[in-house]
Amino acid sequence: MTSDYASIISQSLNTLPVGICIIREDHTITFWNRTIETWTGISQIQAEGKILEDVVPVFGEHHERSRLKVVFKGGGPVILSSRFHPRIFPLRENSQNEGKYQRITISPFILPDEGAQAIITVEDVTAITEQVFRYRQIKDQIAFELEEKKITERALEMALSKLNNLASITRHDLLNSLTVFEGYLGILLNQEPGGKIQTYLEKMRESTLSMKRHITFARDYQEMGNAAPTWYHVESLVKNSGTGPIFRDITIEANTGNLEILADPLIIKAMYNLLENAVRHGEHTSHITVSHVKGPDSVTIILEDNGVGVPSDKKGRIFNKGFGSNTGLGLFLTREILGITGMQIIETGTPGKGARFEIRVPAGHFRYPGEE
Partner 1 sequence: MEISDEVIDGIRELVTIGVGHSAGMINELTKAHVTLTVPEVRICDMHTQASSLLDLTDPDESSQVILTFSGEYTGSLSLIIPHKSAIHLVVLLTGEEGSPDEMDALRVETLIEVGNVIISSVMSSFSILLSSPLTFLYPVYRIGKWVENTLIINSQPKQGILARTKFQIQDREIEGILFFSITSESFDFLQRTILQIMERGL
**∠ Cα 174 325 179 (to 5°):** 20
Structural element, H or E, at residue 160? helix 126-190
Our CB check for partner 1 shows the closer of 103 and 292 to be: 103
Q: At closest approach, how far in Å is the CB of 17 from partner 1?
A: 17
Phi, psi of 153 (to 5 degrees): -60, -45
Give the list of residues 6+ apart from residue 350 with CB closer than 8 angstroms, or none. Answer: 309, 356
Our CB check for partner 1 shows the closer of 123 and 347 to be: 123
Q: At closest approach, how far in Å is the CB of 40 from partner 1?
A: 22
Q: At closest approach, how far in Å is the CB of 28 from partner 1?
A: 19
Query: Which residues sit opposite 79 in a β-bridge?
Result: 105
Q: At closest approach, how far in Å is the CB of 9 from partner 1?
A: 18
Our CB check for partner 1 shows the closer of 126 and 341 to be: 126
Q: Is residue 61 within 8 Å of 53, Cβ to Cβ?
A: no
Our CB check for partner 1 shows the closer of 83 and 294 to be: 83
Q: At closest approach, how far in Å is the CB of 266 from partner 1?
A: 41
- Give the sign of the dihedral formed by CA 87, CA 91, CA 97, CA 99: negative
Q: Which residues form the interface with partner 1 (CB under 8 A)?
A: 62-63, 66-67, 70-71, 73-84, 103, 105, 107-108, 110, 116, 125, 128-129, 132, 135-136, 139-140, 143
Rounded Cα gap, residues 16 and 101, in angstroms: 18
By C-alpha distance, which of 76, 79, 87, 68 is closest to 29? 68
Our CB check for partner 1 shows the closer of 89 and 272 to be: 89
